[in-house]
Amino acid sequence: MSAALIIIDLIEELAGPKGRANRCREQLEARDVIAHTNTAAAYARIRKIPVIWVRVGFADDYHDIPPHSPLFNHLKQIGALRLNNGGCRWLPGLEIKPEDLQFEKKAISAFAGNNLLTWLQQHHCHHLLLGGISTALAIESTARQAHDAGFQVTVLQDLCAAPTEDIHQQSLETLQNLGRVMPSQAWMKR
């Protein structure tokens, strides 16, 4: 069974010090998500597991946002998540390698508005390992869609963060219905 490590939305706008929507920043730092992500990505590369980075971002005029989304319309009002303004840059310290894949998404799920699902199916990736922010939004949404598409899902809990530890823990409880939830160290020891 082939696996893929998918890291979602670790970008300036959502977790950087000047991000307009950086509600996960404190927990991301407290949980040392960047270091854990780099370690897991390095391990995946050694094991020949594709490392896939997915980030949300929109055109400067926002013609590509989900039109009825309260979340994205609020972000539009504050000028967040435009691909050309720098807020969609990956967080400093992330070790993204040239052989890694990158996708842009147009909603909450990592599969929204791109060909990630097709790529995974074409490359016979049946097991998805997920990390990123926010646990309660992007990780849950992606896990649900992956589950329903027939993938085995594992959430690497120390690669994830939410606005608060309570929200993160509640989300992890929900995610146990969709797949395994484990620390990255436990996955790397398997």
**Residue 120, CA distances (Å) to 59, 72, 156 in order:** 26, 27, 19
Per-residue confidence (pLDDT) for residue 85, from 0 to 100: 87
Domains of the chain: 2-188 (3.40.50.850)
User: Residues of the chain whose pLDDT is less than 50?
Assistant: none
pLDDT tens for each residue of 108-155: 999 999 999 999 999 999 999 999 999 999 999 999 999 999 999 999
**Stated pTM of the model:** 0.97
Looking at residue 59, the DSSP 8-state letter turns out to be: -
Under DSSP, the state recorded for 90 is B
Rounded to an integer, what distance in angstroms lies between the CA atom of residue 22 and that of residue 32? 16
